[in-house]
Each structure stands twice: as C-alpha cells, then as structure tokens.
Amino acid sequence: MSLATNPFTATREGERHAVYARLAAEGPVHQVTLPTGRVVWMVTGHAETRELLSDPRLVKGGWRLGPYAHDLPEDVARGIHSHMLLSDPPDHTRLRRLVTGAFTRRRVERLAPRIEATTARLLDAIEGEENADLVAALAYPLPIDVICDLLGIPDDNRESFRTWTQVVVSPGMSPFEVYERANLEFLDFTRELIAAKRSTPQDDLLSALIAARDGDERLSEQELTSMMYLLVIAGHETTVNLIANSILALLTHPDQLALLRAEPERIDNAIEELLRYDGPLQNTLTYLTKEPIEVGGTTIPEGVGVVVSLLAANRDFPQGDRLDITRDDVTHTAFGHGLHYCLGAPLARLEGRIALEALFARFPGLRLDVPAGSLTRTPSVLMNGLDALPVRLR
C-alpha cells in the first residue's frame, strides 16, 4: 500500500473515505503494512466485518500483542495492555464483568446534568465571538471533562491528557521514543492516582473499580492501570471525533441539518446515522487468527494479524456514502461488534446528543469558516479525527 493510497496518512478531508472506498471496491480483504512495520490483513467488507467480529477464531492474544509490547519494558507493556480490548475469554469475561459492575447505567445517566452544564459553559465562552474552532472549543474539552469527572481525576491534571493520548492512540505515527515517553508518563500518573484513591476512596468510577469484586476476583494492579488507560482513551478520544465529525457532516449537508432542526425528535436516529457515515474510529486494534479463516474468497492464514476497518465497512453497501438521518434501521459497527462491543457507547451517544442539540440551538447561523476541502484529518491507524473545525458562529 503506497503512501498515495494509505488511509492512515490520508489527511485531506474526504481523502480517507475515498481510499477505503477504493479498497472495499477491490475486495473485502487486503494485506497492508501498519506504521509500526507490522504486516496485517485488513477486512473492509460490510458483511465480512460483522461476521468476523463475532468469529471465535479471531482472538486478541493478551498484552503481548499490544502495540510495541516487545519494545517497551515489560512492566510498562503489561501496565497499559492488560485490558479488555486485548483479552480473550475467560480473562475478558472476568474483566468485563468487573468493570460492568462499576460502570453502571445509573452512574452514566446521572452525568447528564453535568454534561449539559459543561456544554453550556463551553458555548458561553464563545458566545460573543464571530468564529471559533469547535474541536478546541467544544469537541475536545467536553469529553475530557466528562471522563475525568467520571473517573475522579482532579482538574489540574486534565491538560496533560491531550499530549499523552494523541501519541498513544497512534503508534507508529511518531518516533518510538516519543511513544514510549508518553506511555511512561501516563502510567506513572495512573499509578499515583490509584494509590491516592485506594488510600482515600471517593464516589467515582476509579474508586469503584479498585473496590470491585466478583466473588474472590478483583482487578490486579496491572489490570487497573490498563483499565484507566483504556477508559481515558476510549472515553475521550473517540467522543471528540464523534462530536466534531457529526458537526462537520451536518454543516456540509444543510438539507439534513434543516430536517433535524425541523424535526428534533430525529436526534437519536441522526446520531446513529452520523456514527455510520463518519465514525470516530478507522480500524479495530489488531486481532490474531487461531486457525485459517476464509473471508470473501480469500483464506487468511493461521497466526497472522487482522484489523477490521470499521470506517470502510460502514459505507460498504449501496448508497453508503450518502448521509440520510431518515434512514431506517441504521446498522453500523462504529462501536465495534460482538464480544468487544464498546462498553462506553451509551455515554458517547449521550454526550454527542447533548452537544449537537445545544450547539445548533445556540447558533442557528452556524457555518464553516473555511472550504470543507481544506480541513485535515490527524494521521492514525485507529482514530478518525479532525485537526480543527473552524466555523463562523453567526
């Protein structure tokens, strides 16, 4: 895959989807080289994606298969990669059960007033301005405030996260030394925070995770740090992209925005269609084949890496490149599918809904401040996010 056809480094607006569309048109399975240098098989077909994500022959393999696991010091690799997304049953079953017990619907639902208040505060801050960057002004600060509030992370530590997470979610896009340093700093911070919560528990998710038990089972220290790593990244980077991508999609489809304004009861269906049309993730983390698997007429060998392209699959069907918030039965894999379906999906949907409703109500004249084609995406294998979203507010 040459740079000209590489979706990971396709940064011009629209280019990434065009690359994935070409790949999907050529067939549902491709061999690609990741920025880390690892050669894997990429699946881009819509039907094949849903089938594979439920196939027990596709496994995670544990912490040793995390990005750069063999290059990082073992205690660091285990401290960041011992989480659910890299685990298989029975470890995955145990971890998900422990986390689900702490990550309750009640805990998520009671965040709604805080999300609404934070959104209002962020919009108040740009109320008197003529223009703004909605990534910096809304899409980034809202999810980081929510996930930090949920986990019980003090306000004065939150600014460090952007520096760390932008690096750790894109292995291979920066020098290994930069990737290693970001992970070391994040891990050190997490260990100190866990020690503080263990000493003085509070009414937050991290304290609940420390105390969580399932019979005699509880999270180990490495599982706790890895779970923090996963929750901070999955609970904030993905929602940044969900909000910003959704705003852009509606601004570049004024008929759909007008329909949503006229019929606000469509918001929940609109969120699903926006997730399908331009989701927050490009691909899954790498899986491993336990045995040969035939996909779309191609046999993927045993013992090789596989990534499933969520972004490609979500448009790989007739008229999949058309945004339509009236679409019936929106089916997408923006939050994954099967065993590793995102535990935080309800929270992301809640944040997206509140942010979009408040933004478009506050600024009825909202429009792009630059041509859509001049916008750029951040290079990444995993994430699908905008660098900035300049708008005119009135």
Where do the domains of the chain lie?
Answer: 3-392
Q: In whole angstroms, give the CA distance from residue 73 to residue 76.
A: 5
The stretch 244-259 carries a mean pLDDT of 98
Q: How confident is the model at residue 214 (pLDDT cuts 50, 70, 90)?
A: low
Q: How far apart are the first and last CA of the chain?
A: 43
116-125, 134-143, 165-174: least confidently modelled range: 165-174
Dig out the tokens for 394 from the structure.
């009135």
Reported CATH class of domain 3-392: mainly alpha
Q: In whole angstroms, give the CA distance from residue 377 to residue 13.
A: 6
Higher pLDDT, 107 or 227: 227
CA 65, 68, 71: angle at the middle one, nearest 5? Answer: 115
pLDDT at 59 over 70: yes
pLDDT in the model for residue 3: 45
pLDDT in the model for residue 102: 67
pLDDT in the model for residue 306: 95
Q: In whole angstroms, give the CA distance from residue 73 to residue 86.
A: 18
The stretch 122-132 carries a mean pLDDT of 96
Say which DSSP state 161 is in. Answer: H
Return the closest-CA partner of residue 238 out of 370, 153, 347: 347
pLDDT at 369 over 80: yes
pLDDT at 5 over 80: no
The stretch 294-302 carries a mean pLDDT of 94
Average pLDDT, rounded, for the chain? 90
Higher pLDDT, 103 or 302: 302
Q: How far is CA 312 from the centre of its chain?
A: 15
Say which DSSP state 217 is in. Answer: B
The stretch 220-245 carries a mean pLDDT of 89
Mind listing the pLDDT tens digit for each residue in 310-352? Answer: 999 999 998 999 999 999 888 899 999 988 888 888 899 999 9
pLDDT in the model for residue 329: 81
pLDDT in the model for residue 295: 92
Phi, psi of 43 (to 5 degrees): -105, 125
pLDDT in the model for residue 278: 98
Kind of pairing between the strands at 305-308 and 39-43: parallel
> Residues 227, 83: contact at Cβ < 8 Å?
yes
Residue 3 CB partners (closer than 8 Å, separation 6+): 9
| Alpha helix (H) residue ranges in the chain | 15-26, 46-52, 74-81, 91-102, 105-109, 112-126, 134, 141-151, 159-168, 176-199, 205-211, 221-234, 237-251, 254-262, 267-277, 310-313, 345-362
pLDDT at 216 over 70: no
pLDDT in the model for residue 339: 87
In one-letter notation, the amino acid at residue 253 is H
pLDDT in the model for residue 100: 81
**How many other C-beta atoms can be found within 10 angstroms of the C-beta atom of residue 69?**
18
Q: Structure pTM?
A: 0.92
pLDDT in the model for residue 215: 59
> Residues 229, 356: contact at Cβ < 8 Å?
no
Name the β-bridge partners of 30.
42
pLDDT at 26 over 80: yes
> Residues 243, 388: contact at Cβ < 8 Å?
no
pLDDT in the model for residue 6: 86
Strands (DSSP E) found in 34-85: 39-43, 58-59
Dig out the tokens for 180 from the structure.
């290693």
In one-letter notation, the amino acid at residue 385 is G
